[in-house]
């Protein structure tokens, strides 16, 4: 069974909202030895249904460093994305935050703003497109 198949099965097992929560907690755990899902009862239950699912923390983390909007792996280092020049980084990390912006970010570019230690290039592009269409939010 491939990582994509396991991820898809886990997504169906926990539902979309919890799946996104596990992705964000995994992203937030980078730089630590802790992978939140490893000790979670949900993962143990899922492993009973899907014995091919990883057991080791790095296997779980690797499977969940994923953009659920654009269906692609996340890049762990912003410098590995050549489209993120200094001006782009300044624009997407310092744009104004309003309820409309937060709704758009959750729906269209959840991994394309903020500190960008973990990034989805398609989220960054969607964020820049949204900012271009909403110029008043493109101010610090």
Looking at the domain assignment, is residue 88 inside a domain?
yes
Sorted by sequence, the CB contacts under 8 Å of residue 30 that are 6+ apart come out as 61, 76, 117, 118
Whether residue 128 is predicted with pLDDT greater than 90 in this model: the reply is no
Residues 10 and 60 grouped into a single domain: yes
Looking at the domain assignment, is residue 132 inside a domain?
yes
Give residue 91's pLDDT band: very low, low, confident or very high (50, 70, 90): low
CA proximity to 21, closest of 31, 30, 11, 9: 11
pLDDT tens profile 25-81: 887 777 777 777 666 788 889 999 999 999 888 888 888 888 989 999 988 765 555
Whether residue 90 is predicted with pLDDT greater than 70 in this model: the reply is no
Whether residue 93 is predicted with pLDDT greater than 80 in this model: the reply is no
Looking at the domain assignment, is residue 47 inside a domain?
yes
Residues 84 and 125 grouped into a single domain: yes
Number of domains present in the structure of the chain: 2
Residues 32 and 54 grouped into a single domain: yes
Q: Which pLDDT score is estimated for 139?
A: 53
Q: Which pLDDT score is estimated for 62?
A: 85
Whether residue 15 is predicted with pLDDT greater than 80 in this model: the reply is yes
Residue 111 sits at the vertex; the CA angle it makes with 100 and 92, to the nearest 5 degrees, is 65
Domain span holding position 123: 78-137
Q: Which of 29, 64, 99 marks a domain boundary?
A: 64
Looking at the domain assignment, is residue 117 inside a domain?
yes
Q: Higher confidence at residue 37 or residue 84?
A: 37
Looking at the domain assignment, is residue 72 inside a domain?
no
Give residue 134's pLDDT band: very low, low, confident or very high (50, 70, 90): confident
Residues 93 and 133 grouped into a single domain: yes
Residues 82 and 60 grouped into a single domain: no
| Distance between CA atoms of residues 56 and 54, nearest Å | 6
Residues 45 and 7 grouped into a single domain: yes
Q: Higher confidence at residue 134 or residue 46?
A: 46
* pLDDT average, residue stretch 17-29: 85
Looking at the domain assignment, is residue 48 inside a domain?
yes
Residues 59 and 10 grouped into a single domain: yes
Residues 121 and 83 grouped into a single domain: yes
Residues 16 and 42 grouped into a single domain: yes
Q: How far is CA 17 from CA 59, 71, 134, 139, in A?
A: 22, 15, 27, 31
What is this structure's pTM? 0.73
């Amino acid at each position: 069974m491939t990582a994509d198949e396991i991820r898809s099965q886990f997504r169906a097992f926990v539902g979309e909202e919890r799946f996104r929560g596990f992705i964000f907690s995994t992203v937030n755990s980078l730089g630590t030895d802790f992978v939140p899902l490893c000790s979670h009862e949900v993962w143990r239950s899922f492993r009973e249904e899907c014995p091919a699912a990883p057991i080791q923390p790095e296997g779980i983390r690797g499977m969940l460093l994923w953009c659920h909007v654009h269906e692609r792996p996340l890049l762990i280092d912003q410098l590995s994305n050549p489209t993120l020049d200094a001006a782009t980084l300044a624009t997407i990390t310092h744009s104004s935050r309003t309820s409309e912006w937060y709704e758009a970010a959750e729906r269209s570019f959840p991994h394309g703003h903020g500190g960008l230690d973990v990034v989805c290039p398609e989220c960054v592009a969607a964020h820049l497109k949204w900012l271009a269409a909403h110029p008043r939010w493109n101010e610090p």
